[in-house]
Amino acid sequence: MTGVFQGYLSQNIEKESKVARGNLSSANQSRVLLGRLKDLLRAQQSRLDSYLAVLDRQYEAIENEGSEDILFYTELEEKIGRELLAIQKVCIPLERLYHATDTAEPPIDIRALKTTLEARKKEVQIRSRRNRDLLAQRMTLLRAQIHSLQASPLRRTSIYAKAGIPSRIDIWM
């Protein structure tokens, strides 16, 4: 899905930039690019919001030791991460193109969106690290439990375990 989404975005940007280059003035061209950049930044913001929600649910699943839930949220996290990367791959060239057409400082709303995105990215990193640490603790606890079960004196052993190594084999026919 990411490839399709990325391809769709790049095709639309190419079409918009061709139209913008062909029949729009420089001011109109920068306005079109600015509008498209705002849309992409807002899309990235909504993906980051959903990513934060997934990380919170994943944390609850780790606390509740729901292995199926952890797997589901991990797969969902990877999907959202791929979508974020696809949007970012489109955002960077579009921003460069905007700066090439308009040398003025980006408007306040673009700067505010970028500031919000940076804050959300840091929050994603913090929550992701929190989940990773909790999962590592759970894994250590599970390994200790498995080890204690393997070394348990209550574990049944074979009645022949103390018999030693056989020295002869009797074959009856």
pLDDT at 98: 72
HEC secondary structure over 28-61: HHHHHHHHHHHHHHHHHHHHHHHHHHHHHHHHHH
pLDDT tens digits, one per residue of 25-41: 666 777 777 788 888 88
For 51, the token pair is 């990513």
Q: List all residues 6 or more positions away from 5 whose beta carbon is below 8 Å from its beta carbon.
A: 83, 86
- Find the range with the poorest average confidence among 45-54, 122-131, 136-145, 160-169: 160-169
Place of tokens 């420089």: 26
**Residue 10 CB partners (closer than 8 Å, separation 6+):** 90
Structure confidence at residue 38 (pLDDT): 84
What integer is the mean pLDDT of 153-169? 68
pLDDT for 130 beyond 70: yes
Q: Is the pTM of this model over 0.85?
A: no
